[in-house]
Amino acid sequence: MHRKWWNLIRIRTIETGAEPGGGEPPQPEPPQPEPPQSDPQANTGGEGDEKLGEHGMTALKNERRANKSLREQLAAANARIKEFEDRDKTDAEKASERIASLEKSNTGNAAKALRYEVAVDKQLPKVLAERLQGSTREELEADADSLLKLVSVQNKPNVKPDPSQGKGGDPKPHSLSEAISAYYK
């Protein structure tokens, strides 16, 4: 008899989230009005959100809202830190940072252009140009050659065509009587 009551208490605990022994169940937070969303995809979840139920969806929305506000606070804090760091820099230091970032961008763009040039020269599909690896033109060309070998191996059919299918070697009959006589030969 005692085990029966203990199982009921455990079931109650699981269902309500209360402590064993008759504690008060937690009170749900009152729903807060949702702020207007600028990005409709920002707070949409995965495919399993519908299975959460009403309380689960409320908790998930609250968590996403808190996450969004924390990300905004972090971005604002990073901007202030950058502002304080830049305040003490001279114009020459700011210019040198800008030059360094432009040089880095220029190097990346030059490498990308070289990959596309090699891909065009080797008649490699544009989709595969991004996959070329190497720092010099020779390395990129060697990589393109090996990639072309792989692509050509995959594009070759493994099955030879059946000569009995399609147009045969016999000439077509010009009339119905020729077709009938050719059939019965």
Residue owning tokens 């070759």: 156
**Is the pLDDT assigned to residue 4 strictly greater than 70?**
no
DSSP track, 28-93:
PPPPPPPPPPSSTTTS---TTGGGGHHHHHHHHHHHHHHHHHHHHHHHHHHHHHHHHHHHT--HHH
**Is the pLDDT assigned to residue 129 strictly greater than 60?**
yes
pLDDT of residue 39: 46
Percent of residues, the chain, with pLDDT higher than 90: 34
Residue 164 contacts residue 156 (beta carbons within 8 Å): no
Task: Kindly report which listed range (18-32, 60-74, 124-138, 170-184) carries the lowest average pLDDT score.
Answer: 18-32
**Is the pLDDT assigned to residue 5 strictly greater than 80?**
no
Residue 64 contacts residue 43 (beta carbons within 8 Å): yes
pLDDT of residue 42: 45
State the amino acid at position 29 in one-letter form.
Answer: E
**Is the pLDDT assigned to residue 160 strictly greater than 50?**
yes
* 143: nearest Cα among 172, 163, 176, 121: 121
Residue 154 contacts residue 132 (beta carbons within 8 Å): no
**Is the pLDDT assigned to residue 151 strictly greater than 90?**
no
Gap between the Cα atoms of 121 and 132, Å rounded? 13
Q: What is the mean pLDDT of the chain?
A: 77
Band of pLDDT at residue 61, cut at 50, 70 and 90? very high
Gap between the Cα atoms of 86 and 80, Å rounded? 10
